[in-house]
Amino acid sequence: MNWKAFSAMLARDAHVARRNAVTTLLQTLLQPLLFVFIFGTVMTGTSLMPPAYKTMLLPGIIALSMLMTGIMSVSMPLIMEFMTKEVEDRLLAPMEVRWIAVEKVVAGMVQSLISGGVVLLAGWLLLGGKVGLNFDHPGTFIVLAILIALLSSSGGLTMGSSVGQTHIGLLFSMVLAPLIMFGCAYYPWSYLKSFPIMQKLVLANPLTYASEGLRGTLAPQIPHLSLAVVISVLAVADVVLVLFGLNRFYRKAVS
């Protein structure tokens, strides 16, 4: 493994991310922050929703933002690189092909973590200091944040290596839209007990575990899935997506 080449590629992606920071922030953070403002401030301020809803909402929005940022920051550039053959330049780097994909995953994780931090801070400011979040378990929070960031970037690698430019619209409508709406970001999983079939189906959505995990850490007073279950499922999903994504990238890059 050539760590110098790996670091150089990571630095290049960091430079590109900084150069496109404003565009990236608008694309990935505008929608989550609008949800926080409308549902957490406007709806609770007009008494259409109870004030406690903002405490339930923010952890889910953080999870959603992290997941979407990691997916988009890895998948979209990768789709373009395969389309323009720019990926061939990367393949000339003095490192094994799969390490090129690993670098993309690491870069996506960093962007996902930054996105989560920005939404946490912005949400805290928008909703006020009395939003009710709990930071008594920083270790668990850090572990969950890393697992979610890896989930998002490895998911982006898998999608970017599996979808062509002509299917980008399909990616949004058939994959990302259901992922967002049925990921328990806007409602706790336990509240779906009136819809038992749906409650079971959403357990196949990785965003459900990300939302419930952050909710269980930052707002433990709200009913949530067991953190042990959440961490276990996220860890397994990470391993599966990383291995599958690396395999897909290798096959598409060398074909």
Which residues neighbour 194 within 8 Å (Cβ) at sequence distance 6 or greater? none
Which residues neighbour 62 within 8 Å (Cβ) at sequence distance 6 or greater? 32, 116, 119, 120, 123, 214, 218
Q: What is the pLDDT of residues 201-229, one digit of tens each?
A: 999 999 999 999 999 999 999 999 999 99
pLDDT for res 182 = 92
* C-beta of residue 9 within 8 angstroms of C-beta of residue 103: yes
Q: What is the pLDDT of residues 190-203, one digit of tens each?
A: 999 999 999 999 99
Q: What is the pLDDT of residues 16-49, one digit of tens each?
A: 667 766 776 666 677 777 877 787 778 777 777 7
* Confidence bin at 179 (pLDDT 50/70/90): confident
Give residue limits of the domains in the chain.
Answer: 3-254
Nearest CA-CA partner of 86 in 95, 77, 76, 99: 77
DSSP line for 129-144: TTS----S-HHHHHHH
- Which amino acid belongs to residue 190? S
* C-beta of residue 65 within 8 angstroms of C-beta of residue 32: yes
Using a pLDDT cut of 90, give the percent of the chain over it: 39
Which residues neighbour 161 within 8 Å (Cβ) at sequence distance 6 or greater? 78, 82, 101, 245, 248, 249, 251, 252
Nearest CA-CA partner of 248 in 137, 148, 162: 162
Q: What's the pTM?
A: 0.88
